[in-house]
Structure formats: structure tokens, C-alpha cells
């Protein structure tokens, strides 16, 4: 029968894990609480290291074909003056590839298509991972920010941390040639073109946990960002208020380990980070590939998981800290000249690959 694994969560990390383990001889079941794959969602920037992870899973070329290369990125002030420009050519020379823009639903569909029918069992919520280990050689918690598998391992000892902001995001029927971010005082606005006539956008402002605008999201977005440079006001005029998502932003208190016996955590379940570096999906893909590499034929599961933890916990903890620091930097209310100078240096040094 071979070794059997159950993956809790059918998101990007969970599906990638299933592909990687199956390529190494495992029998895998994925339990996903939703009834089907999503048909809407935000755009993702897939960085070169994550593209290589997709290559390892056998779907990298498909991802490149279904996505589009990021042509560049600009950081601006609310009046439109430029702070810094991302050199995508330099990034390609450094890493052998550039960032590709891909819609989350497209990436999920691509990963799901790489799995045989029946591997993913939809409408299968897991509120407790107790009992799964008895029937499987491996349990993988890829069940996101509020992971049931993580709770089974750690309880509430390593809680989520509110990042001090509220975020909005959505998709607007607008063409934007080049994406980027605009950094104001205590707020920022980002644009990512995802296709002809379609632009992914997000907006962030400082706020306490649980805060929501009394006069509604559209009014608050126009109050904070309505006088920022073009095309931000035009985008706010074209967005559908019913499709605007609003949520608090959290990351995860660092865990002492991503593994326990024959149980492993990956993606947001292991190292949820703020979205300020655009690395959440990328790091989940890399987690999945490394986990599969560590659990090849004839490898003791517990020993393989310890190696996975050794390889992935240090870099992802650094990424969590970098993302949190980048978010704080972007939302400074004072010292914005020094902030802008620091951003220019960071762009010259190069982003994470």
C-alpha cells in the first residue's frame, strides 16, 4: 500500500504538498473545508524561488503561460512623485527569472489539475486533527492562519499578532500599465495588473483590532485615498463596493518547531506573515517542495520532518520579521524622508528572490 499522508487544507500549500508527496510515492488525501475551488480572488506575485518550486512540481511552465511577467514596479508618494523603481531586468539577471503575476484562482486550478480526481475531498472541514495520525503515516497542517492542526499541537500558546492595520482589497475593471505601491502617512495603496482591463488593488491604514468605518468602506477609502495620484481615485470610482473585502491583518507568533512526531505544519499554519513582501504563497510553495524532498523513499518520517524543520523554520522566521518591519516602515507617520531613503536602498539591494 505504501505510505499514506493526509493534508489538512486544499489551498496553495496543501495542493502543492500533495503533488510533491505523490511524486515521491506517497498516497495522499487532501481535506478541504470549502465545497469547491474559488473562482475569484486576488492576484499573486510569484517570485523566482517560488517559480523554481513550481518547476520541481512539474507545473512551472504552465504557471508562466497562464500568468504574465511583471514589467516593473514603482513606489510613489500620494502626490505621484516617485520614490523608487523596481529593476525587473536586474532581478532576472540575478535569479534567472522574474516575478510572474498569477491570479490565486488560476494557480489553485493549475495545482488541482496536476492531481488525480479524488485526491482532494471538498466540503471536509477538520476542526480537530485528533485521530488523523492513527490512520496515516503523515499529517500535514496546511490549514491557514487559524489552523486546527496547529491548535492541536500548541493550543493558544503562540497566538496571532495583530499588525495594527486594517486592509481592503478587490479587483477593479481598470487597465494599469505598471503596478506598484504608494506610501503615505499611516497608509498605503497597492496596484497589481492581472490582465486586460483587470487590476488587483489593496489599501491599508493604521487601525486597532476590530475597527471598521462607521460610514462604510467606500466612504472611508475615498476619505483616506481619494486625493492620491491617478489612477487611485479612478479605481475607487470603478470598484464594486459589494466585492470589496475588508479584514484585520495578523501574523503568527514564531513557533518553536514546525513538526511534532509525524505531524508537520506549513504555509500560514506554520508562519503566517503580513502581506507586505508578497511572500505568503511563495513561501508555502517552497515549504511544500522541501517537505517532499525530505520525505523521499526509505526516509524515516520523523527524521525527515526534523530535516524539513531545520531547513524551513529559520528562513521563514526571517521572512515574517522582514514583512512585519516592511509594513511598519510603509505606514510611518513621521520621518517619511528617512523612510523613503531606506526604501530606495532596499530596492537597489534587491528583493527576496
Question: Tens digit of pLDDT for each residue in 76-107?
Answer: 999 999 998 877 667 667 767 888 889 899 99
Name the pairing type of β-strands 259-260 and 263-265.
antiparallel
* Model confidence band, residue 352 (pLDDT cutoffs 50, 70, 90): low
What gap in Å lies between CA 279 and CA 260, rounded to an integer?
A: 25
State the pLDDT at residue 176: 86
* Model confidence band, residue 348 (pLDDT cutoffs 50, 70, 90): low
* Model confidence band, residue 333 (pLDDT cutoffs 50, 70, 90): confident
Determine the average pLDDT of the residues in 266-290.
96
What gap in Å lies between CA 20 and CA 26, rounded to an integer?
A: 9
Name the pairing type of β-strands 4-8 and 27-31.
parallel
State the pLDDT at residue 296: 93
The pLDDT tens digits of the residues spanning 30-76 come to 999 999 999 888 888 899 999 999 999 999 999 999 998 887 789 99
User: Is 70 exceeded by the pLDDT of residue 172?
Assistant: yes
User: Is 60 exceeded by the pLDDT of residue 266?
Assistant: yes
| DSSP notation for 4-43 | EEEEE--SHHHHHHHHHHHTTT-EEEEE-SSSS--S---E
DSSP state of 174: -
State the pLDDT at residue 1: 59
Q: How buried is residue 194: exposed, middle or buried, by Cβ count under 10 Å (0-12/13-18/19+)?
A: buried
Determine the average pLDDT of the residues in 324-347.
78
State the pLDDT at residue 72: 75
Expressed in percent and rounded to 5, the helix, strand and coil fractions of the chain are 40, 25, 35
* Model confidence band, residue 314 (pLDDT cutoffs 50, 70, 90): very high
Higher confidence at residue 281 or residue 39?
A: 281
Max intra-chain CA distance, the chain: 63
Determine the average pLDDT of the residues in 270-282.
95
User: Is 80 exceeded by the pLDDT of residue 108?
Assistant: yes
Determine the average pLDDT of the residues in 311-326.
95
User: Is 60 exceeded by the pLDDT of residue 349?
Assistant: no
State the pLDDT at residue 350: 54
Is the CB of residue 87 less than 8 Å from the CB of residue 48?
Answer: no
State the pLDDT at residue 182: 94
State the pLDDT at residue 320: 96
CA atoms within 13 A on the CB side of 292: 26
State the pLDDT at residue 346: 67
State the pLDDT at residue 140: 98
Amino acid at each position: 500500500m505504501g505510505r499514506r499522508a493526509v493534508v489538512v487544507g486544499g489551498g496553495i500549500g496543501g495542493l502543492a504538498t500533495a503533488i510533491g508527496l505523490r511524486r515521491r510515492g506517497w498516497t495522499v488525501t487532501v481535506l478541504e473545508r470549502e465545497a469547491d475551488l474559488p473562482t475569484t480572488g486576488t492576484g499573486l506575485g510569484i517570485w523566482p524561488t517560488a517559480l523554481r518550486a513550481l518547476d520541481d512540481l512539474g507545473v512551472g511552465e504552465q504557471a508562466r503561460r497562464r500568468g504574465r511577467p511583471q514589467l516593473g514596479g514603482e513606489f510613489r508618494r500620494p502626490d505621484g512623485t516617485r520614490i523608487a523603481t523596481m529593476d525587473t531586468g536586474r532581478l532576472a539577471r540575478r535569479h534567472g527569472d522574474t516575478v510572474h503575476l498569477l491570479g490565486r484562482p488560476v494557480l489553485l486550478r493549475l495545482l488541482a489539475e496536476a492531481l488525480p480526481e479524488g485526491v482532494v475531498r471538498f466540503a471536509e472541514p477538520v476542526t480537530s486533527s485528533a485521530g488523523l495520525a492513527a490512520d496515516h503515516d503523515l499529517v500535514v497542517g496546511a490549514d491557514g492562519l487559524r489552523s486546527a492542526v496547529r491548535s492541536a499541537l500548541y493550543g493558544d500558546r503562540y497566538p496571532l499578532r495583530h499588525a495594527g492595520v486594517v486592509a481592503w482589497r478587490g479587483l477593479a475593471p481598470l487597465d494599469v500599465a505598471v503596478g506598484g505601491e504608494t506610501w503615505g502617512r499611516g497608509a498605503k495603496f497597492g496596484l497589481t495588473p492581472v490582465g486586460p482591463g483587470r487590476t488587483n488593488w489593496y489599501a491599508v491604514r493604521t487601525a486597532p483590532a476590530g475597527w471598521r468605518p462607521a460610514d462604510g468602506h467606500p466612504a472611508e477609502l475615498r476619505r483616506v485615498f481619494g486625493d492620491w495620484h491617478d489612477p487611485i481615485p479612478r479605481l475607487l470610482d470603478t470598484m464594486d463596493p459589494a466585492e470589496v473585502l475588508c479584514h484585520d491583518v495578523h501574523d503568527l507568533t514564531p513557533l518553536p518547531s514546525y513538526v511534532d512526531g509525524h505531524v508537520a505544519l506549513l504555509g500560514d499554519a506554520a508562519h503566517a506573515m503580513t502581506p507586505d513582501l508578497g511572500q505568503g504563497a511563495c513561501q508555502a510553495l517552497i515549504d511544500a517542495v522541501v517537505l517532499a524532498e525530505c520525505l523521499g523513499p526509505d526516509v524515516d518520517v520523523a527524521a525527515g520532518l526534523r530535516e524539513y524543520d531545520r531547513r524551513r523554520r529559520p528562513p521563514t522566521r526571517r521572512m515574517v520579521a522582514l514583512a512585519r518591519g516592511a509594513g511598519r516602515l510603509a505606514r510611518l507617520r513621521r520621518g517619511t524622508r528617512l523612510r523613503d531613503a531606506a526604501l530606495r536602498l532596499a530596492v537597489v539591494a534587491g528583493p527576496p528572490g
